Amino acid sequence: MVIMTTTEAAPAPGQPAGLTRIPPALNAAALEHYAATYGRSVLELDRALAAAPGPDGLIDLTHGDTRAFLPPAAAAADFDDAVTENTEAYTAYRGSAALRAGLAPRLAGLLGRPVDPGAELIITPGTQGGLFAALSALVSPGDVVALPDPEYFMSERILAYLGATAHRLPVSSDSRGLLSIASDALDTAAAAGARLLVLSHPNNPTGGVYDPAAARALAGFVTGHDMLAVVDQLYCRLIFDGADYVHLSAQPGMAERTVTLAGPSKTESMSGYRVGAAVGPAPVIDAMERVLSLAALRTAGYGQQVLRHWMDGDAAWLADRTAAHQALRDELVGRLRAIPGVTVAPPAGSSYVFPDVSGAPGGGPDDHAVAVALKAAGVLVSPGYQFGPAGRGRFRINFSQDAGRLALACDRIEAVLRG
Amino acid sequence: MVIMTTTEAAPAPGQPAGLTRIPPALNAAALEHYAATYGRSVLELDRALAAAPGPDGLIDLTHGDTRAFLPPAAAAADFDDAVTENTEAYTAYRGSAALRAGLAPRLAGLLGRPVDPGAELIITPGTQGGLFAALSALVSPGDVVALPDPEYFMSERILAYLGATAHRLPVSSDSRGLLSIASDALDTAAAAGARLLVLSHPNNPTGGVYDPAAARALAGFVTGHDMLAVVDQLYCRLIFDGADYVHLSAQPGMAERTVTLAGPSKTESMSGYRVGAAVGPAPVIDAMERVLSLAALRTAGYGQQVLRHWMDGDAAWLADRTAAHQALRDELVGRLRAIPGVTVAPPAGSSYVFPDVSGAPGGGPDDHAVAVALKAAGVLVSPGYQFGPAGRGRFRINFSQDAGRLALACDRIEAVLRG
């Protein structure tokens, strides 16, 4: 199943023979099967976009701007204290015991389930580090894993790296941005042998929140088939319009079979510290710690301590940050909808929108080509292919930006899409 | 080849079926074959030592004390500047371009070879993160990899995780602590199919430096067999007695086939930041970046910046730090040699000693049992099995400690070993 051609090259004369020999697992992560639609693997598409020309003053909308939305002041203070105290340079691989003890009640409050700080919690190098550790702890070669379409761009790559196959679940969105997955799609996944469900919630890249009934149906699907679940809740604190957000691990029978990933990289703009947390059943947290010990020993000892005051009495701060993002969302969705041929569901959470520009005069179904054209016009976006087959003709924008720069980016996007 | 018994357990009644299913790669990293000597896998031995009782005031000699030897002041200042500037929260996966451009000349000076900051350098989550990325970039299932015995405890675990087999190379030490590997051992490894050599230099756990002639012979072995090499030089700046240290990647034909790992975690006591650097051929750095993107996206953006002034005109500081460690080494080696039945080679570099206590009345060949006894007496050491078959009857001490605490630890060690 591993196609070696795209990333293998014959060594140059005199070059060591082993230099261009890519291990099969790493090669699989290139996602060669996207060549059937796009003519190139996902790795090649990414490299082509990175190499495509862009002007000075390129506006990067692939991630949030941590200068437009600053981290809480406590983060830097907690880090400095950790350096000064200098007692936690070497922690348990799963993270500082004192930190976990302080954090567990706040995570329990967030997730609506008990969290044992010793057995059920691990500090990870960002939420990506938690995702890699969780999947590496749970997935064996040949496994089939249920994955929404679209879904976070790294999930399918990691599954392919681990020798597993992603069984995609089409996601539907209603007019309020509330998501659901059809029950026959779930049944098909179960029949295909899926014993693990991996999903982001809110969904990355759409920002959609699962409708409460749909979320409960997902939990019922997992428990009913004796499956496990990995739920990336990186954006679960940034929810708009008071939408009803259902925590999957708090549903009946789910706590003992769900790994929940969380972290301060997005809502709190603390991505530069590269810290996250995962809550799950003790045997899985044990296995995740074994993975993390191999990959990096531990999350940076000083860096872990920026979680000391994460989610600690910050309701007013969170309300302000949410309102600011909701205003940006409304402005952006309005701008996008004014472009002929563009459709977009308003995200119920996160700082992402995922418009469909396939019908725009300057858009079309080839989202890679659209992203290259947008880059030439001064805007960098995340093209739809990165998130799965459902990304065809779409791109993702992270609107956690300065309002003026986002407006300028919208001008450029509109100019391209109007053709 | 994967034995599942030691880490598998039947699910408890009502427990999800998938919870105790350990993926074969992770299970392989438990190193079951050590059970032939010790009765348990390395994972089980580690867990038994972690669970063994120790008194209040346990002195942990498994790592250096970052309060006894502080990080350079520039590290905290550079980190604070990075947080204040807040322009590098999101960097290229291989690290900040500006940081790499500044660091490359200093790495070139250290290693004695040119370093292209764009193509040949990646910033890693500690040197462990660099080792994991390098081996994951170079090793395929079924590979045979040449590995000194003894060697850094994670190397064989990562190789097993990747489905490879470690072919051990016995290491000899002369009376000055200078190491060599017999040529017939290298020939046997080549005949066994080894196409990659992985080693630490100075050696972890012995602190030995390869004799210059032996180092050149190692380089000749690698080039002569068209092999690749991964060299962990985490301790290459902490060299005693003016010993002649040979950088392998500077030897003829080696730059294009060697990945060199370095970082400030040890000599500079900056382990709490979890940052390192790797220099190697462009195709391997590319592949390492792909691995890192899966495992953690990137090294923490702010954390990378603590390398801004690493090795920047610190010759006087380094001379002081080296002298302080050399004094601790001399005191410790003297104390250990005074214990009947203990033999130890003085390390020519690093902050490790690796005494053989198999002949001591309170010692013996079972280094796990000795470590459990030492823990009960108030000293935590790294038992020899962690480093390979040659660790039988030995343990590792990291002597980067407060002198008074190290002396107290020596009292406790002596009391146990005298029996």
Q: Two tokens at A111?
A: 């997730």
Question: Is the confidence at residue A6, as pLDDT, over 50?
Answer: no
Question: Is the confidence at residue B1, as pLDDT, over 50?
Answer: no
Interface of B with A in 267-286 (CB under 8 A): 269, 271-275, 281, 283-284
User: What is the SS3 assignment for A85?
Assistant: helix
Q: CB-side exposure of B280: number of CA atoms within 13 Å?
A: 35
User: What is the SS3 assignment for B207?
Assistant: coil
Interface of A with B in 23-42 (CB under 8 A): 23-26, 29
- What CA–CA distance (Å, rounded) separates B321 from A285? 39
Distance of CA A198 to the CA centre of its chain: 11
Q: Which of A414, A389, A396 lies closest to A63, judged by CA?
A: A396
- What CA–CA distance (Å, rounded) separates A131 from A232? 8
Q: CB-side exposure of B288: number of CA atoms within 13 Å?
A: 34
- What CA–CA distance (Å, rounded) separates B5 from B35? 12
Which residues are registered as beta bridge partners of B121?
B279
- What CA–CA distance (Å, rounded) separates B376 from B58? 9
Q: Which residues of A touch B139 (CB under 8 A)?
A: 23
Q: Does the distance separating the beta carbons of B63 and A128 come in below 8 Å? A: no
Q: Is A156 exposed, middle or buried (0-12, 13-18, 19+ CB in 10 A)?
A: buried
A294 → closest Cβ in B67, B154, B269:
B154
Q: Is B158 exposed, middle or buried (0-12, 13-18, 19+ CB in 10 A)?
A: buried
Residue to substitute from A4, A8, A19, A227, interface B, most B β-carbons within 10 A: A19
Specify the pLDDT at position B198. 98
Q: Which residues of B touch A136 (CB under 8 A)?
A: 23, 25-26
Distance of CA A330 to the CA centre of its chain: 22
Q: Two tokens at B187?
A: 């020939």
The rounded percent of chain B whose pLDDT value lies above 90 is 94
Specify the pLDDT at position A15. 86
A23 → closest Cβ in B88, B89, B140:
B140
Please answer whether residues A331 and A124 qualify as being in contact, where contact means their C-beta atoms are separated by less than 8 angstroms: no
Q: What ipTM, to 2 d.p.?
A: 0.97
* Shortest Cα–Cα distance, B328 to chain A (Å): 21
Q: Does the distance separating the beta carbons of B88 and A138 come in below 8 Å? A: no
**Other Cβ atoms within 10 Å of A55 Cβ, number:** 12
Mean pLDDT across the stretch A356-375? 98
Mean pLDDT across the stretch B381-406? 98
Mean residue pLDDT of chain A comes to 96
Work out the pLDDT band at B238, boundaries 50, 70, 90.
Answer: very high
Would you list the DSSP string of B119-132?
A: TSEEEESHHHHHHH
Q: Does the distance separating the beta carbons of A16 and B256 come in below 8 Å? A: yes
- Angle at Cα A196 formed by Cα A190 and Cα A202, nearest 5°? 105
Please answer whether residues A143 and B24 qualify as being in contact, where contact means their C-beta atoms are separated by less than 8 angstroms: no
Would you list the DSSP string of A246-306?
A: PPGGGSTTTGGGEEEEE-SSSTT--GGG--EEEE--HHHHHHHHHHHHHHHSSS-HHHHGG
What is the tens place of the pLDDT at every residue in A121-147? 999 999 999 999 999 999 999 999 999
* Shortest Cα–Cα distance, A86 to chain B (Å): 6
pTM above 0.95, yes or no: yes
What is the tens place of the pLDDT at every residue in A226-262? 999 999 999 999 999 999 999 999 999 999 999 999 9
Q: Which residues of A touch B274 (CB under 8 A)?
A: 125, 296-301, 303
**Other Cβ atoms within 10 Å of A220 Cβ, number:** 16
B56 close to A (CB below 8 A):
no
Work out the pLDDT band at B218, boundaries 50, 70, 90.
Answer: very high
Which chain B residue has its CA at the smallest distance from A155's CA? B294
Q: Does the distance separating the beta carbons of B294 and A161 come in below 8 Å? A: yes
Residue to substitute from A58, A62, A159, A290, interface B, most B β-carbons within 10 A: A290
Residue B60 backbone phi and psi in degrees, to 5: -90, 110
Q: Does the distance separating the beta carbons of B301 and A89 come in below 8 Å? A: no
* Shortest Cα–Cα distance, B75 to chain A (Å): 10
- What CA–CA distance (Å, rounded) separates B27 from B14? 24
A144 CB contacts (<8 Å, ≥6 apart)? A164, A165, A167, A189, A192, A193, A194, A195
Q: Does the distance separating the beta carbons of A82 and B272 come in below 8 Å? A: yes
Specify the pLDDT at position A3. 36
Question: Is the confidence at residue A269, as pLDDT, over 80?
Answer: yes
Cis peptide before A150 (omega within 30 of 0): yes
Work out the pLDDT band at B5, boundaries 50, 70, 90.
Answer: very low
Please answer whether residues A332 and A401 qualify as being in contact, where contact means their C-beta atoms are separated by less than 8 angstroms: no
- What CA–CA distance (Å, rounded) separates A344 from A63? 19
Question: Is the confidence at residue A339, as pLDDT, over 50?
Answer: yes
- What CA–CA distance (Å, rounded) separates A397 from A136? 29
Q: Which amino acid is at A302?
A: Y
